[in-house]
Amino acid sequence: MESSVFDVVIIGGGIIGLSTALRLKQEQYPNWRIAVVEKDDGLANHQTGHNSGVIHSGIYYRPDSHKARFCVEGAQALLKFCDENEIEYNLCGKVIVAIHESELERLDSLYERGVANGVKGLEIIGPERLKEIEPHVYGIKALWAPGTGIVDYKKVAAAYAGRFQEAGGDIFTGAEVQSITKKPDGLSIETSGGVLQSKHLINCAGLHADRVAEMMGEKIDIRIIPFRGEYYTLTPEARGLVNGLIYPVPDPRFPFLGVHYTRNIHGQVEAGPNAVMALKREGYGKYDVDLMDSWGTLSFPGFWKMSMRYWKIGLGEMHRSYVKSVFVHDLQRLVPEIRSEDLAPGGSGVRAQAVARNGALLDDFHIIQGKEAVHVLNAPSPGATSSLAIGKYIGDLAAEAFGEG
- Nearest Cα residue to 67 out of 395, 398, 378, 375: 378
**Least separation, in Å, of the C-beta of 183 and ligand FAD?**
19
Determine if 349 is a binding residue for ligand FAD (CB under 6 A). Answer: yes
Using CA atoms, how far apart are residues 28 and 25, in angstroms rounded to an integer? 6
Considering only 204, 224, 238, 269, the residue that binds ligand FAD (CB under 6 A) is 204
Of 49-57, 135-143, 161-169, 217-225, the segment contacting ligand FAD by CB under 6 A is 49-57
**Least separation, in Å, of the C-beta of 404 and ligand FAD?**
26
DSSP conformation letters of 104-153: HHHHHHHHHHHHHTT-SS-EEE-HHHHHHH-TT---SEEEEETT-EEE-H
Angle among Cα 123, 243, 118 to the nearest 5 degrees reads 30
Strands 34-37 and 5-11: parallel
Determine if 38 is a binding residue for ligand FAD (CB under 6 A). Answer: yes
Determine if 264 is a binding residue for ligand FAD (CB under 6 A). Answer: no
Determine if 207 is a binding residue for ligand FAD (CB under 6 A). Answer: yes
Minimum CB distance to ligand FAD smaller for 134 or for 282? 282
Determine if 280 is a binding residue for ligand FAD (CB under 6 A). Answer: no
Which residue type occupies 218?
E
- Distance (Å) of CA 170 to CA 4, 34, 167, 335: 10, 6, 9, 48
Kind plus residue range of the DSSP H or E element containing 90: strand 89-90
Minimum CB distance to ligand FAD smaller for 35 or for 141? 35
Of 12-20, 124-132, 296-304, 321-329, the segment contacting ligand FAD by CB under 6 A is 12-20
Q: Is 85 in contact with 189 (CB distance < 8 Å)? A: no
Considering only 152, 176, 363, 372, the residue that binds ligand FAD (CB under 6 A) is 176
DSSP 358: T
Of residues 293 through 332, those in contact with ligand FAD by CB under 6 A are none
Determine if 146 is a binding residue for ligand FAD (CB under 6 A). Answer: no
Determine if 14 is a binding residue for ligand FAD (CB under 6 A). Answer: yes
Using CA atoms, how far apart are residues 66 and 365, in angstroms rounded to an integer? 6
Minimum CB distance to ligand FAD smaller for 141 or for 317? 317
Determine if 383 is a binding residue for ligand FAD (CB under 6 A). Answer: yes
Taking residues 55 to 84 in sequence order and writing x for each that binds ligand FAD by CB under 6 A, - otherwise, the string is: -x----------------------------
Distance of CA 48 to the CA centre of its chain: 7
Question: 115-132 in b/e burial notation, b at 16+ Cβ within 10 A?
Answer: eebebeebebbeeeebee
Minimum CB distance to ligand FAD smaller for 202 or for 379? 379
Residue numbers at the binding site for ligand FAD (CB under 6 A) = 11-17, 37-40, 44-48, 50-54, 56, 176-177, 204-208, 212, 229, 273, 349-351, 379-385
